[in-house]
């Protein structure tokens, strides 16, 4: 099977970085409007992690596999059967595949996933297998 359209680790990291910067700037600007103080210290708390994870779960369902960073980098989360991602796919991918397994393995699974994305022909990490997804380039 040919996996020519699969997104590698570098472009995925770039998309994640863009998502973080854009979402954090929007939230920090909102906090500034309310409190008069501009800070990114909120990004270290559980509220930020919850908002960010919810964003990564819900927006791809609404926006056909894209979040802002992925759209800017021309990559998209897809189901392995080529259908649009569902809440079940994204829950398994983000909550179970990233957060739960990442926490239980003290982050080792994240490093293993990075290696899988680099070295596997299909460019799928643990979270992709758990969620039944892959990331395509366009």
pLDDT (0 to 100) of residue 115: 98
pLDDT tens, residue order, the chain (138 aa): 678 899 999 999 999 999 999 998 888 888 889 888 877 777 778 888 899 999 999 999 999 999 999 999 999 999 999 999 999 999 999 999 999 999 999 999 999 999 999 999 999 999 999 999 999 998
The rounded Cα 38 to chain-centroid distance in angstroms is: 26
pLDDT (0 to 100) of residue 39: 72
The whole model's pTM is what?
A: 0.91
pLDDT (0 to 100) of residue 18: 98
Buried b (16+ CB within 10 A) or exposed e, 77-115: bbeeeeeebeeebbebbbbebbeebbeeeeeebbeebee
Angle between helices 46-62 and 9-35 (to 10 degrees): 120
pLDDT (0 to 100) of residue 36: 87
Q: Is 79 helix (H, G, I), strand (E, B) or coil?
A: strand
């Amino acid at each position: 099977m040919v996996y020519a359209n699969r997104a590698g680790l570098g472009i995925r990291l770039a998309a994640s970085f863009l998502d973080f910067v854009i979402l954090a700037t929007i939230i920090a600007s909102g906090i500034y409007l309310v409190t008069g103080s501009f800070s990114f210290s909120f990004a270290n708390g559980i509220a930020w992690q919850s908002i960010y994870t919810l964003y990564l779960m819900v927006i791809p369902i609404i926006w056909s596999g894209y979040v802002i960073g992925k759209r800017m980098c021309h990559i998209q989360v897809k189901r392995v059967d080529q259908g649009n991602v569902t809440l079940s796919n994204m829950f398994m991918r983000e909550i179970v595949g990233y957060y739960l397994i990442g926490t239980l393995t003290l982050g080792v699974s994240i490093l293993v996933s990075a290696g899988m994305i680099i070295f596997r022909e299909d460019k799928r990490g643990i979270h992709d297998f758990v969620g039944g997804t892959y990331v395509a380039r366009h």
